[in-house]
Amino acid sequence: MDKLFLALDWTPNINHIGFFVAESLGFYNDVGIEIKISDPAEDDYKITPAKKVEIGQADLALCPTESLIAYRTKSSPFDLKAIAAIFQKDLSAIAVSKNSNIHSPENLSGKHYASYQAKYEDKIVEQMIKNDGGAANLEISYPKKLGIWDTLLEGKADATWIFLNWEGVEAKQKGAELRYFKLEDYGIPYSYSPVIAASESTIKKKADALHSFTKATKKGFLYAQNNPEESIAILKAAIPAKDADIDLNQALKASVDAFQSEGAWGKMQPGRFKKFVEWLKEKGMEKQDIEAESLYTNQFLE
C-alpha cells in the first residue's frame, strides 16, 4: 500500500465529503492507497496545510490558489502545485450582516474585517471595495483562524470571507441574515479554491500513488453527488461537535453543481490561473512574473 498524508484546509465539512466517502467505502484501498486525513484543529491551526507539505509533515494539502502563488514567490521559493480542484465554480463570498448599513462592498470602507492573514487576502478585499467605488481603509483584525466565522455571527466583525455552501448554510439555519458579495461580481477574476496541492518532488516521486489517489478521490466526490443520503451519513461521523447541527443535505445541494461531471471533476483551466496571476500583478499585489502553467497539472486526471 502507498501511504499518503492529506492535510485539510479546515475542520471536516462539505468541501471534504469526497475524501471521507472514498476512505469509508474503500475506494482508496481498492487502488492501493492508505490515506491519513488530518485537520487543522489538531494543532489549532498553528501550521497551515501548505506549510505542512513544505516541511514534510504532509504529502498533500488543501489550499486556495493564492497559496500556490505565495509559496512560489517567497524569498525561499517552494514548488507547490495543484493536482486537482475541488470545485469548478467559486463558492466563496465576503459576508456581512443584513442588519448593518453595508449594502455593497463600497460600504465596507472603514469597517472591521476579520482576516485569515493569507498573503493576498486583505488586498483582494480592499480591491473589491475600490472596484465598487469605495475607499480601501478597512480596519483589519486577525482572530484565531478557527474562530473567525464566530466573530461575524457575534457582531465582533463587520465582514469576513466564507464558503456559501458551509457557513452560508449554517447562517440561514441559525436565522442570521447575511448579505454576500461574490468576487466575480466586482471585477475580480478569482481562481480555484480549494485545490489539492503537492510539491513537484512528490509529484515526480509518487506519480503512480497520486494518480491512484486522484482516481479514488474523484470517485468519492462523484459518489457523493449521486448518493447523497449515504454520503452525508459518512461525512456526519467526521463533523466536529460544534458543527453537528449544520444541515448537510442543504450543504451538499449547494455544492454538487460545482463538483461537475465525470469528465470535468478536478480539472483546471490555464486561463483561470493566468487571469488571476495577471490581475494580482496589475494591482500591485505580486511583483514577480509567474507562469500560470507552473501552478497546476492535470496529469493525474487524464
pLDDT per residue rounded down to tens, the chain (302 residues): 999 999 999 999 999 999 999 999 999 999 999 999 999 999 999 999 999 999 999 999 999 999 999 999 999 999 999 999 999 999 999 999 999 999 999 999 999 999 999 999 999 999 999 999 999 899 999 999 999 999 999 999 999 999 999 999 999 999 999 999 999 999 999 999 999 999 999 999 999 999 999 999 999 999 999 999 999 999 999 999 999 999 999 999 999 999 887 678 999 999 999 999 999 999 999 999 999 999 999 999 98
> Residue 136: its pLDDT value, please?
85
> Residue 14: its pLDDT value, please?
98
Any residues with CB less than 8 A from the CB of 50 and at least 6 apart, and which?
61, 63, 67, 71, 80, 197
Residue ranges covered by each domain of the chain: 2-88+192-295, 92-186
> Residue 12: its pLDDT value, please?
98
Domain 2-88+192-295 -> CATH class:
alpha beta
Tell me the C-alpha distance between 258 and 245, whole Å: 23
User: In degrees to the nearest 10, what's the CA dihedral of 150, 155, 159, 165?
Assistant: 40
Any residues with CB less than 8 A from the CB of 14 and at least 6 apart, and which?
165, 166, 169, 235, 248, 251, 252, 254, 255
- Tell me which amino acid residue 210 is: L
> Residue 302: its pLDDT value, please?
81
The radius of gyration of the chain from alpha carbons, rounded to an integer in Å, stands at 19
Tell me the C-alpha distance between 22 and 260, whole Å: 17
pLDDT (tens digit, 9 = 90+) per residue, 253-283?
A: 999 999 887 678 999 999 999 999 999 999 9
The three grid cell numbers given for residue 285, joined into one nine-digit string: 499585489
Q: What is the CATH number of domain 92-186?
A: 3.40.190.10
> Residue 261: its pLDDT value, please?
72
